Copies of this chain bind each other. A is one copy, B any other.
Amino acid sequence: MSSALLTDHYELTMLQAALAGGAAHRRAVFEVFARRLPGGRRYGVVAGTARVLDALENFRFGPEELDFLRAARVVDEPTLEFLAGYRFSGQVYGYREGESYFPGSPVMVVEGTFAEAVLLETLVLSILNHDCAVASAASRMVQAAGKRPIIEMGSRRTHEFAAVAAARAAYLCGFGSTSNLMAGHVYGVPTAGTAAHAFTLLHDSEEDAFRAQLDSLGVGTTLLVDTYDVAKAVRTAVELAGPDLGAVRIDSGDLGEVALEVRRILDAFGANRTRIVVTGDLDEFAIAALAASPVDGYGVGTSVVTGSGHPTANFVYKLVAREDAGGVLRPVAKQSVGKPSRGGRKWAYRAVEDGTAVTEVVTLEPAGGRHRPLLAELVRDGEIVGREPLEDARARHRATVTELPTMAHSLSPGDAAIPTIFS
């Protein structure tokens, strides 16, 4: 399926005017960056890069797209002709997925003619703004959960395809699994889940429901114990399943208090290894508050798929350099009030001392030296060269988070964990 119409109308009218005026074929550099991290967060996390590459591969104007644009009179015939032959032939560099980013980090750089690069603005931003918002929230939750696993289960709280991308982004940041089957199918994210209240209510008694679930899914399953009376349900669960019951799930009430009571009952029945999973409007703050409670795993829904209060990452896609009439590449930047931009093609490096990140270094020329380069080659002359397995991104995220200074894991609002220095 073509991704070409997942684009704003004005990208095409700009193209038309630039083709007619003659500037369309000037070489241009666009940069994706965020002026700030949302809500006093200490770091952001890059996710969605691989999805940008997939979308780029399918960015083609075929007969269906061209017929629509013609019928809706979006652009003129010369522009339609250009679009019919459109293939991105330029370069894309970007931060790798799982890497952290900070205000001003050039997380993606797109070079090509103005015509070919401007068309990608909407789609690139849609993907990165969504996936990075989810990843940036997910990473905080994983840090708050420590060694306890988290399952992502927010599909029902967001657009049905956003749910798939959200599951991928959360897994990339260390969530253990997702409820979303499509994310399992398309991205290989492990999927998990057992039963809802409806399953208990379907049966004439809670005991009937638990027995049916245990018979079919085995004693390793997770029984949901808060449909009626939690204490009674836990006793029923262990009586039916024995001490090898896999887990119980609590979805309501004061989770910390209820978990304590459930742990006591389970232990009294010898079910010492039966795990307690809690769910129900959890976010990074609620997870952190449960650190001392006898909880073995978390299920997180709404808050992770909606970026925990910040559903979009504030990335913009700005023209930072372009050829002038004489063919020389010139830095450019708008001067709009309150929206600072820095002209010029950028390079970016992470300065790390004794294993701890200390500075984000953004330069106008490639810099050698010992700092870690952050911009990887993703597309070379229109050919996608930057694909990698999702597990590599997941490992990179673990590494980048470990490298951040301790204050990066503060959940209170404040400054970015490391400063961004433009030099």
Contact = CB atoms under 8 A, between A and B. Distances in A.
Nearest to A317: B156
Contacts of A16: 216-217
Given A10-B179, A191-B72, A252-B336, A126 B202 contact: no
A311 interface: yes
Contacts of A197: 318-319, 334, 336
B155 A130 contact: no
A116 interface: no
A153 B8 CA distance: 8
B185 A17 contact: no
Given A6-B182, A156-B8, A199-B14, A334 B227 contact: yes
B184 A157 contact: no
A335 to B, nearest CB: 5
B338 A253 contact: yes
Interface string A369-400: 00000000000000000000000000000000
Interface in A53-97: 55, 64-65, 68-69, 72, 74, 76
Contact of A319 (B9, B121, B201, B213): B201
Contacts of A228: 334-335
B252 A156 contact: no
A363 interface: no
B185 A68 contact: yes
A181 B12 contact: yes
A165 interface: yes
Contacts of A411: none
Interface stretch (A22-30, A345-353, A402-410, A412-420): A22-30
Contacts of A69: 181
A202 B18 contact: yes
A20 to B, nearest CB: 4
A69 B184 CA distance: 9
A99 interface: no
B123 A160 contact: yes
A105 interface: no
Interface residues of A, number: 108
Contacts of A64: 185
B165 A159 contact: yes
Contacts of A68: 181, 184-185
A288 interface: no
Contact of A312 (B161, B194, B306): B306
Contact of A179 (B9, B192, B200, B208): B9
Contact of A17 (B9, B55, B212, B302): B212
B338 A156 contact: no
Contacts of A74: 181, 184, 191
A163 B319 contact: no
A142 interface: no
Contacts of A311: 158, 306, 311
B198 A312 contact: no
Given A9-B184, A20-B215, 20 more contacts: A6-B160, A9-B192, A10-B179, A10-B195, A14-B196, A17-B213, A21-B208, A126-B157, A129-B158, A162-B162, A200-B334, A204-B325, A226-B334, A227-B335, A228-B334, A228-B335, A251-B336, A252-B336, A252-B339, A253-B336
15 contacts: A5-B181, A9-B193, A20-B216, A21-B213, A22-B212, A55-B160, A64-B185, A68-B181, A127-B160, A130-B159, A197-B334, A226-B336, A228-B335, A252-B337, A252-B338
